[in-house]
Structure 1
Amino acid sequence: MQTLTAKFRTLEFGEAKTYLVALLFVLGNIALPQLCHTLRMGGPTWLPIYFFTLVAAYKYGWRAGLLTAILLKSAVLALVAGWTAARFRRVSLLLLAGVVLVYQTIGTLGEWALAGDLSTAMQDFRLGIPGMLLQIFGGRAIIGVMNRNRYAR
């Protein structure tokens, strides 16, 4: 399994680039779900609303990820991905799989506590396996491309 030594940049709340990056990733978090929802069960299957939050937090830190987050699980994802990237300073399929598993587990417990229905809270684990795999493999690919692009540094 190949590990990519990534060029990470933790953006601060006081930097204009933080808000520009967040805006671009929020647009992605709006556009990708719209595209996926044109397919039957596309949203629950592909989990598109989390994809750009994962990339933003992993590449630019928890602050950029949190600004990109839309839902409870997105906020948890931003924090977990940002911490993982800062802690390990590299990206691999194993690390991304760990990020996805941790945020899905914590988010599911939070949704269960809020909704009071375990079956509804477990929906991503029942239907969203393709989306989780997209986050892992697609996230790794996008972060790799961003590392080679001088404008994304």
Structure 2
Amino acid sequence: MTNVSVNLYTYNYRQAKTYLIAVLFVLGNIVLPQMFHLVPKGGITWLPIYFFTLVGAFKYGWRVGLLTAIASPIVNSVLFGMPMPSALPAILIKSVLLAIGAGWAASRYHKVSVPLLFLVVAFYQVVGGIAEWTMTGSLMSALQDVRIGMPGIVLQIVGGYAFIRYALNK
């Protein structure tokens, strides 16, 4: 898994493609969490709400990522009660950081690699964790994604690489 050139796109908010692609990634961020919630503690272990935000922002730019990052947790919370409304602020902050970080990394390096995705995921987890700690006053809550969600972090990095590299390579 080395640095691999892939076609990366950046759409603006005036293009219909931006919204169409974002809707597809939001749907992915609805279906994937529902599948993982069939397993006890699947959501907090696998962190599926972030997967298509990472992929969308990296492949199609920060605007698609930002739309996906904001809509996915809200739609999931309204439709299914997960994430719980009390968890939404921290998840939204992390999702937005992920979208911005992935979009920036893709536009800066024009390649996808496991180390680059690792840095993007580390960025949103560290900065988002600090924000969550500040908001909640609980270091344990802020570290939950890392303590319990390590399988999800690995899924984002390795699965995100595979998805961008193979499923979306055109």
Fold shared by both chains (TM-score > 0.5):
yes
Letter of the 1:41 counterpart: K
Counterpart in 2 of 1:22? 22
For residue 116 of structure 2, the aligned residue among 72, 95, 103 is 95
1:131 aligns with 2:166: no
What is the CA-CA distance between 1:75 and the residue it aligns to?
0.5
2:135, 2:26 → 1: CA distance?
Answer: 24
1:10, 1:124 → 2: CA distance?
Answer: 29
TM-score between both structures, scaled by the size of structure 2:
0.85
- CA-to-partner distance for each residue in 1:80-104, whole Å, 9 max, x for gaps? 0000000000000000011011110
Equivalent residues, number: 148
What is the CA-CA distance between 1:115 and the residue it aligns to?
1.2
2:2, 2:116 → 1: CA distance?
Answer: 11
TM-score between both structures, scaled by the size of structure 1:
0.94
2:23, 2:53 → 1: CA distance?
Answer: 11
Unaligned runs of 5+ in 2: 74-91
The 5-angstrom pairing of residues 29-40 of structure 1 reads: 29-40=29-40
What is the CA-CA distance between 1:13 and the residue it aligns to?
0.6
The 5-angstrom pairing of residues 56-135 of structure 1 reads: 56-69=56-69, 70=73, 71-135=92-156
Moved beyond 3 Å, runs of 4+: none
CA RMSD of aligned residues (A): 0.8
Unaligned runs of 5+ in 1: 149-153
Letter of the 2:66 counterpart: L
What is the CA-CA distance between 1:72 and the residue it aligns to?
1.4
1:147 aligns with 2:163: no
